[in-house]
Amino acid sequence: MSTDPNCIFCKIIAGQIPSKKVFEDEDVMAFHDINPWAPVHLLVIPKRHIVSMESVTPDDRALMGKMMVLAPKLMADAGVTGGFRQVINTGRDGGQEVFHLHMHVFGGPRPWAKG
């Protein structure tokens, strides 16, 4: 599995940086964002270091599908019932700040701080 020793998300996966984890299996991890924009703001990340959506290949179909179908379960587990939003920022101009592929999952009553 590829990792980047300088990547904050790789360090979270390795247990070097604490997180408020809500899900983990052999492929993905989900945890609460430390600067939430909504009442529930989770990040879903692959455990393998993938820089961004620009780096995703056809071989990543199952991984990407797993991330997408995990979101509704996580929101239901968090008590979100009125809908939610999934966002993947790609590249600097796309708003990506951490260059390890990650999906934001936002939910809870509005108004949200951002988005």
For 14-28, how does the pLDDT look when each residue is reduced to its tens digit (9 = 90+)? 999 999 999 999 999
Element spanning 67, H or E: helix 61-77
CATH topology of domain 8-107: HIT family, subunit A (3.30.428)
Mark whether 32 is an active-site residue. no
The strand pairing partners of 104, in sequence order, are 43, 87
Cα separation of 7 and 101, whole Å?
A: 11
- The alpha carbon of 33 is separated from its chain's Cα centroid by a whole number of angstroms, namely 9
> What are the residue boundaries of the structural domains of the chain, listed by start?
8-107
pLDDT (0 to 100) of residue 114 = 76
Task: Give the pTM.
Answer: 0.95
Of 49, 100, 102, 104, the catalytic one is 102
